[in-house]
Amino acid sequence: MAGLAYDDDITILDELIIRAIVYVYIKYYYNNKFKGKTPAELAKYVIDGEREEGFIYIDILTKLMETYYLNRNKYTNFEEFMSPLIKEFKKEKALMDKTAKLSI
């Protein structure tokens, strides 16, 4: 990530959140086809590209941002969701890191 000038955890998390929001926007609000892809296919295509760029935790954040979007009635603003987001992100990241170590 340092090659992309993202050399600290806060910046990386910010970038992951932004990219996950783009995923949710494309999947739920984008109504046109792009290069013959449906919005869901385009959203997956975009996230696949982010993963290839080195955002290895993008799947965790897209799942969490989708949870936020689908449960907007539970959270009056994004700040209320930050604590559950960070807690769940840490849990999922630890599990993913543990799984990666086992496969080496």
Which pLDDT value is given to residue 4?
Answer: 58
Q: pTM for the full model?
A: 0.76
Supply 9's token pair: 């955890």
Sorted by where each begins, the domain ranges of the chain are 2-102
Long-range CB pairs of 40-48, under 8 A, 24+ apart, other chains included:
46/19, 46/22, 47/19, 47/23
Which pLDDT value is given to residue 5?
Answer: 60
Q: What is the pLDDT of residues 38-93, one digit of tens each?
A: 888 888 999 999 999 988 889 999 999 999 999 999 988 989 998 988 898 888 88
Rounded to a whole number of angstroms, the CA Rg of the chain reads 15
Which pLDDT value is given to residue 94?
Answer: 87
Q: Average the pLDDT over 16-27 and give the result.
A: 91
Which pLDDT value is given to residue 103?
Answer: 64
